[in-house]
């Protein structure tokens, strides 16, 4: 990839791709990597917008050196978000450019001191403050909790670029160009945006809505997030995706997520799945919680309107991986889904009670019948499973 990728005259992409990290936040799989986008404005003043994780720092500094040419001086580092995937390299960057002033809001500067011990040569900005670079003029919009308390967005007013921090970002390294119009399999990036949003940002959906509302009147030519593609052809599309997901709007479709130790709950899942399929209700996604990582299941449950959960009892409670999944979903505060329940047990129940408690806490709409079987399901049990599938399909139509 060329080291000089221009978003506009005087504005360049200097990000790095991470293809080594297996789990983002040590939680979420990133088999296709992730990009830490960083940008540089070469004007009368030189500004870097967001730094990178402390990987590939040699290559990162080389990009900066090449763009600077004879100038050898960086005036500002603007921190939209100080989570270490964007700030891990700050100390090395500061050593390379000791005069560089670090710009952030009050919370940013507090975190800068706590994480890196940096307290000197910093500049605090407030909501709607501006910073002149020459022909470019930056304006700051505080957008807290998207996704940390200090997060903000920086808008370049003359070229109409929005440096949005984590907002509108996604998983996936940028391998075939960085712009939305250069990427041939853009749908796969959109899928990875949904997974990033649901895994990392979704808990703060209300704050995402506030941020989108705050920037709604801006004339935006380019959305430049800290992760994923730079949207220069359809910038509003990236914002619209986050808008829809943070409003928790669902698409028509079903997710069956189940666990099965000895095949009994699996038989029930198959009966439900066949009944659903016979009704031709649209997309049906099926996940075995022991085989699919929670990251992907959460993204599907966020996307689709109906979920059917099946668990065997384990030590008089839920199967542990199902318990883990449901805790994650509850923590993210997903609202307004249809849910069906099924499960089996050998010598003691317990799973169905915990599933029912989960539905009550989430205030989701339970579709009957809920089916709990001792041992292996009988023909009558499987008839009830088919009825659950059929009821769920019909409920989605109404
Ligand atoms: Fe990309 Fe919240 O860090």
User: Separation of 8 CA from ligand 1 center, angstroms?
Assistant: 25
Whether 279 and 363 share a structural domain: yes
pTM above 0.85, yes or no: yes
Pocket of ligand 1, beta carbon within 6 A: 81, 83, 85-86, 147, 166, 226-227
Cβ(175)–Cβ(195) under 8 Å? no
Q: Which of 246, 262, 285 is the last residue of a domain?
A: 246
Whether 240 and 277 share a structural domain: no
Q: Which of 227, 246, 265 is the last residue of a domain?
A: 246
For residue 166, the ligand 1 atom closest to its alpha carbon is 1
Please give the pLDDT value at position 304: 97
Here the CATH number for the domain that contains residue 209 is 3.60.15.10
Q: Which of 209, 227, 246 is the last residue of a domain?
A: 246
For residue 36, the ligand 1 atom closest to its alpha carbon is 1
Please give the pLDDT value at position 397: 79
In which residue are the tokens 């889904």 written?
337
**Quick one: CA dihedral 284, 290, 296, 299, positive or negative?**
positive
Please give the pLDDT value at position 3: 57
User: Separation of 90 CA from ligand 1 center, angstroms?
Assistant: 15
For residue 201, the ligand 1 atom closest to its alpha carbon is 2
Whether 321 and 287 share a structural domain: yes
For residue 151, the ligand 1 atom closest to its alpha carbon is 2
Give every CB contact of residue 383 below 8 A, 6+ residues apart in sequence: none
Residuewise pLDDT in 10s, the chain (398 residues): 445 899 999 999 999 999 999 999 999 999 999 999 999 999 999 999 999 999 999 999 999 999 999 998 999 999 999 999 999 999 999 999 999 999 999 999 999 999 999 999 999 999 999 999 999 999 999 999 998 999 999 999 999 999 999 999 999 999 889 999 999 899 999 999 999 999 999 999 999 999 999 999 999 999 999 999 999 999 999 999 999 999 999 999 999 999 999 999 999 999 999 999 998 778 999 999 999 999 999 999 999 999 999 999 999 999 999 999 999 999 999 999 999 999 999 998 999 999 999 999 999 999 999 999 999 999 999 999 999 999 999 998 77
Q: Is residue 365 part of a domain?
A: yes
- Alpha carbon nearest to ligand 1 atom 1, residue: 166
- Alpha carbon nearest to ligand 1 atom 3, residue: 83
Q: Report the C-alpha gap between 168 and 160 in whole angstroms.
A: 16
Whether 64 and 141 share a structural domain: yes
User: Separation of 106 CA from ligand 1 center, angstroms?
Assistant: 18
Whether 240 and 117 share a structural domain: yes
For residue 169, the ligand 1 atom closest to its alpha carbon is 1
| 3-class DSSP state of 267 | helix
User: Separation of 136 CA from ligand 1 center, angstroms?
Assistant: 26
Q: Report the C-alpha gap between 175 and 183 in whole angstroms.
A: 9
Its domain, for residue 353, covers 254-392
Please give the pLDDT value at position 120: 97
Whether 166 and 229 share a structural domain: yes
């Amino acid at each position: 990839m060329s080291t000089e990728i221009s978003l506009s005259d005087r504005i360049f992409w200097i990000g790095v791709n991470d293809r080594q990290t297996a789990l983002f936040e040590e939680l979420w799989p990133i088999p296709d990597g992730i990009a830490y986008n960083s940008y540089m404005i070469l004007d009368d003043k030189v500004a870097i917008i967001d730094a990178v994780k402390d990987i590939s720092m040699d290559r990162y500094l080389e990009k900066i050196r090449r763009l600077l040419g004879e100038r050898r001086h960086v005036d500002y580092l603007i921190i939209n978000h100080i989570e270490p995937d964007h700030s891990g390299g700050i100390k090395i960057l500061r050593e390379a450019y000791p005069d560089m002033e670090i710009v952030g809001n009050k919370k940013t500067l507090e975190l800068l001191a706590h994480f890196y011990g940096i307290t000197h040569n910093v500049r605090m900005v407030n909501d709607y403050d501006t910073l002149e670079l020459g022909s470019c003029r930056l304006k700051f919009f505080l957008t807290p909790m998207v996704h940390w308390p200090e997060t903000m967005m920086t808008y370049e007013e003359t070229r109409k670029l929005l440096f949005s921090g984590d907002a509108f970002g996604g998983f996936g390294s940028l391998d075939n160009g960085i712009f939305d119009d250069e990427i041939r399999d853009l749908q796969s990036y959109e899928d990875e945006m949904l997974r990033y949003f649901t895994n990392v940002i979704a808990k703060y959906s209300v704050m995402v809505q506030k941020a989108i509302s705050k920037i709604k009147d801006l004339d935006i030519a380019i959305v430049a997030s800290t992760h994923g593609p730079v949207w220069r052809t359809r910038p509003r599309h990236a914002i619209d995706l986050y808008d829809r997901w943070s409003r928790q709007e669902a698409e028509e479709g079903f997710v069956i997520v189940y666990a099965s130790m000895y095949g009994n709950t699996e038989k029930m899942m198959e009966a439900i799945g066949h009944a659903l399929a016979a009704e031709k209700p649209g997309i049906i996604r099926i996940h075995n919680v022991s085989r699919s990582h929670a990251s992907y299941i959460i993204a599907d449950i966020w996307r689709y309107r109906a979920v059917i959960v099946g668990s065997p009892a384990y030590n008089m409670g839920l199967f542990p991986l199902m318990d883990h999944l449901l805790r994650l979903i509850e923590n993210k505060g997903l609202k307004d889904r249809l849910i069906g329940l099924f499960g089996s047990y050998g010598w003691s129940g317990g799973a169905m009670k915990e599933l029912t408690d989960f539905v009550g806490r989430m205030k989701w709409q339970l579709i009957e019948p809920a089916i709990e079987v001792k041992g292996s399901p009988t023909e009558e049990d499987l008839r009830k499973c088919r009825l659950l599938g059929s009821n769920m399909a019909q409920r989605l139509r109404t």
